[in-house]
Chain A
Amino acid sequence: MKQKLMGLNGDEAAAYATKQVDPDVVAAYPITPQTIIVERFSEYVADGLVHSEFVPVESEHSALSSCVGAAAAGARAYTATAANGLALMWEMTYITSGLRLPIVMSVANRALSAPLNIHNDHSDSMGARDSGWIQIYCENSQEVYDAHVEAWRIAEHEDVLLPVMICFDGYTISHTMENVMTLPDEDVKGFVGKRKFIKVQGHLGEAELRLDPGCPISMGPVDLQDFYFEHKVHQMDAMEKALKVIPAVDKEYGVLSGRKYGHVNPHRMDDAEVAILGLGSVMGTAREVVNELRAEGIKAGMVKLRTFRPFPTDDLIKAIGDVPALGVVEKDLSFGAAGSPLYEDVRAVFYDAGSKPLIANYAHGLGGRDTSMAMIRGIYEDLLKIKKNGRVEKTMNYVGLRE
């Protein structure tokens, strides 16, 4: 099958894949650095290249609310946002997952205010980590494109029925043009197929889980002490099932495109003595550093985490293996917590693991500060010291902070 090489930045890759998917409703509000997505998509609509209804809403809260209405009515619905826009959606993120609506959303990760900053870090999507959305983090525009094709199959899978948030670094990915291999339209359409609906027990008997005038159900009712808990645990079960569905969809996509990712992507971990684990674009830089260090005889490795929610515990423990010292690098802080979100999750899953590495937390890149190869090299040097000393002196380390 013939794929087309295109020059696309991350936002354009998201918009192009979504054009190929041709969802029924796209409701979105402009916010840097996501705006290119809504601009491109508006052009597709204006040129008649999609069937989608574009709803140019008056806020991000309404963007997701519109998508909720559309998806509940049986449509495929898509939106995109970043930073404060995602923060404004906060209420609706929980409502989307609680209503089990398979909406797909792009997040061009950007720092949260205050102070105002339009550049990249992960404070926005990390704030939504408990909202019941599947979160996939992309390293480059190619991954952005691929994730935007795969996401629908994951979200709409009958075992899952959860919204998917595709996260990619603002500017670093959203505005940086890269070569992207794209599938023909018909292959994308064939892959995503048509949206299907599960059967539920409605007040008139068996009904499809949607707003169906032919067989009505009530969605989003009051749900009190007697059932709310069970419904929340259903979401936990769906996340658990998503751990299996994501790789299954990825495998199928791999057959179609020749590209597959898995929950985690280890690089040179087999005999690694020091490794870093992280999300997103910085892992591309880390890979270069690992290769340099290896050439110098240092046994460095790295693990890129692609799926953050659901958290792929088993895959992660396997990928980390018995590396003695692990640095968790992340572009976010959890003020007053024992560590940043990813660090805390990683520490937690290793508590019961047979062998556990010494683990340190490296916060970097906040507000878009560049993380250079030299800085990453510095992290590996620190990890080598930790390995040598057999203990972590300092849990939280700020990389690239002004003295």
Chain B
Amino acid sequence: MSQITLKDMAAKPDLLCPGARLCAGCDESIIVRMVLKATRGPTIVTNATGCLEVATSIFPYTSWDLPWIHSAFENTAATASGIEAAYKAMRKRGEGPLAKYPQLDVIAFAGDGGTYDIGLQALSGAMERGHDFTYVLLDNEAYMNTGIQRSGGTPFTAATTTSPAGQVIPGKLEWKKPIDDIVIAHAIPFTATINAAWPLDVMKKARKAFEIEGPAFLHAITPCARGWRYPPEKTIAVSRLVVQTCVLPLYECRQEGGDVVYELSAPSLAVAKRPESKKPVEEYLQVQGRFRHLFRPERREDLLKAIQEGVDKRWSILLKKAGL
């Protein structure tokens, strides 16, 4: 892999420009800027319907300083397939406007709704067909653009506007869909989790995703101040807790000679080496209003225990997979 340094990346201009209408404290623009810093040159971006799309493209303005297309919600991976196929055809023929580029990074950005739910079919199809593109899941764990409705990516007990914490039902009753396992089961060459609290890790993984031939999947956890109910200036702190509590550890998964290789990234490897440093999930939950009902009016020990056990179980499975 080519070298990525913070110094070089900081010097590179942002391809998602300032001035977008995203909320204060939005994690999506942070992740997107980091991912785009890692591009190698000619790049085409396709974007699912969602916060990022509506807030960066209100005609006649645009925040994108690279070729960008939004067509619909559920089809980002299919649109990316077409872009990649067009590039391949032009290269093969030696003709057409993209034929002159020796490489092209094709990136698809989609939210959790556009990935876990409505876009899963198109994503599965595109991965199965093996298109050379990078899919970036911006997972803020609900349909934030339409006003915080639950998705397949919403975690257990989180309150959303369609899984409210009521007198009887304590938020979402279902567990978060294991999207990374689903993606990895497609045997694509590269899958990784990314987190804005570790910028260099984001950019290194993004560069790796671009360089690898075939589909690559980057799962970014993107805390949402509005939907998760925390003060906007706490985005990175909340993001960091996601890893420190092992709610979504940082790791990558590669296919190597028929083997599936899991490798913990430095921040999560540190937790694995010093298990006592693993923070209780409660620290993560209690800073977010969407979990307030787990603490008030009374502590829901049963639910807190279930959530902690769920995190521990998934963490131990991951450690096993990573040979730790």
Contact = CB atoms under 8 A, between A and B. Distances in A.
A55 B81 contact: yes
A348 interface: no
Interface stretch (A72-80, A291-299, A318-326, A362-370): A72-80
A213 B104 contact: yes
A52 B65 CA distance: 30
Interface stretch (A59-67, A180-188, A241-249, A353-361): A59-67
Interface in B75-97: 75, 77-90, 92-93, 95-97
B67 A62 contact: no
A217 interface: yes
Nearest to B128: A58
Given A92-B72, A219-B68, A221-B70, 9 more contacts: A25-B82, A51-B93, A57-B81, A57-B125, A61-B78, A66-B82, A92-B71, A203-B65, A213-B104
Contacts of B262: none
Contacts of A72: 69, 71, 82-83
Interface string A218-237: 11111110010000000000
B72 A95 contact: yes
B125 A213 contact: no
Interface of B: 41-44, 46, 53-54, 57-60, 62, 64-72, 74-75, 77-90, 92-93, 95-98, 101, 104, 121-122, 124-126, 128-129
Interface residues of A, number: 50
A73 B98 contact: yes
A208 B85 CA distance: 20
Given A59-B125, A69-B46, A92 B75 contact: yes
B71 A220 contact: yes
B81 A66 contact: yes
B82 A222 contact: no
B128 A213 contact: no
A202 B76 CA distance: 23
A44 to B, nearest CB: 14
Contacts of A55: 81-82, 85, 129
A100 B104 CA distance: 24
Contacts of B78: 57, 61-63, 65-66, 69
Interface in A172-227: 194-195, 197, 203, 208, 210-214, 216-224, 227
A220 B43 CA distance: 17
Contacts of A203: 62, 65
A386 to B, nearest CB: 47
A160 interface: no
Nearest to B74: A61
Contacts of A210: 67, 97
Given A51-B93, A99-B71, A217-B67, A70 B83 contact: yes
Given A24-B89, A27-B82, A65 B68 contact: no
A73 B88 contact: no
A208 B98 CA distance: 13
A307 to B, nearest CB: 27
A222 B85 contact: no
Nearest to B58: A222
A353 B122 CA distance: 49
A91 interface: yes
B39 to A, nearest CB: 10
B82 A68 contact: yes
Contact of A213 (B67, B72, B80): B67
Q: Which of A57, A66, A95, A222 has the most CB of B within 10 A?
A: A66
A59 B98 contact: no
Contacts of A221: 57-59, 62, 70
Interface of A: 24-25, 27, 51-53, 55-59, 61-63, 65-75, 77, 91-92, 95, 99, 194-195, 197, 203, 208, 210-214, 216-224, 227
Nearest to A218: B62
A69 B83 contact: yes
Contacts of B75: 61-62, 65, 92
A210 B86 CA distance: 12
Given A65-B75, A73-B98, A216-B64, A58 B82 contact: no
Contacts of A212: 67, 97
A29 to B, nearest CB: 10
Given A61-B74, A70-B83, A220 B122 contact: no
Given A61-B78, A69-B83, A74 B89 contact: no
Contacts of A214: 42
B124 A216 contact: no
18 contacts: A25-B86, A53-B92, A61-B78, A69-B78, A69-B79, A69-B83, A70-B85, A71-B86, A73-B86, A95-B71, A99-B69, A197-B97, A208-B97, A213-B41, A213-B101, A218-B68, A219-B69, A222-B58
B94 to A, nearest CB: 9
B58 A224 contact: yes
A219 B66 CA distance: 11
Contacts of A223: 58-59
Contacts of A58: 121-122, 124-125, 128
A56 B80 CA distance: 14
A221 B57 CA distance: 5
Given A58-B122, A58-B124, A58-B125, A69 B71 contact: yes
A203 B65 CA distance: 9
Given A69-B71, A91-B72, A218-B62, A62 B83 contact: no
Given A52-B89, A58-B122, A216 B71 contact: no
Contacts of A213: 41-44, 66-67, 98, 101, 104
A56 B82 contact: no
A227 B59 contact: yes
A216 B83 CA distance: 15
Contact of B81 (A62, A74, A95, A194): A62
B69 A220 contact: yes
A347 to B, nearest CB: 35
Contacts of B85: 24-25, 27, 53, 55, 66, 69-70, 75
B286 to A, nearest CB: 36
Contacts of B95: 194
A73 B43 contact: no
Contacts of B77: 62
